[in-house]
Amino acid sequence: MEKTTFQWILNKLPYSKPFLFVDDISHVDSTGAEGTCVFNANAEFYKGHFVDNPVTPGVLLTECCAQIGLVCLGIYFLGEESKLEDLKIGMSSSEMEFLLPVFPGEQVRVVSELVYFRFQKLKCTVRMYNKEDKLVCKGTLAGMMGKSNG
């Protein structure tokens, strides 16, 4: 069976390094999304968070969950024909619980499940797992997803 490619979704992401936290999308459908990210061990923020014991800040774990679980899913709903310059994306709420640290160079996997997508508001639950498949963080994210009218 041929692997489905979601490169078209990655091409529409409105982020670039060093603020891109999506390396691969393994699954997207009308019920959710799944993908991975490796946090660059040489990222500048590790120098100060925390000195001599660096961990990935929770806000960046949340951002990774949002990029994979919310934005990639939203782009899927808006469709392959939509143009990047026409996409309007904004997070409207987040509630996250952090359970384990993510260290420099560590790969994580994010799984999202759709709660609803209506009136251009997308809401989903997200879970992040480490390489040992242990739950790192979980929560609920919501955002506005749509195409501009111009």
- The reply to whether 49 belongs to the active site is yes
Nearest to 89 by CA among 101, 106, 100, 77: 77
1-24 pLDDT tens trace = 445 689 999 999 999 999 999 999
140/150 Cα distance (integer angstroms): 31
pLDDT tier, 51 (very low <50, low <70, confident <90, very high otherwise): confident
In the chain the domains, ranked by start, together with CATH numbers, are 7-147 (3.10.129.10)
* pLDDT confidence of residue 1: 43
CA distances to 11, 25, 94 from 73, rounded to whole Å, are 13, 10, 16
User: Which helix (H) or strand (E) element contains residue 116?
Assistant: strand 107-118
Q: How is residue 61 written in tokens?
A: 């774990």
Could you tell me which residues come within 8 angstroms of residue 132 by beta carbon, excluding any fewer than 6 positions away? Answer: none
Q: What is the pTM of this model?
A: 0.92
Length of the chain (residues): 150
- Which is catalytic among the residues 8, 26, 49, 120? 49
β-strand partners of 113:
32, 125
* pLDDT confidence of residue 149: 61
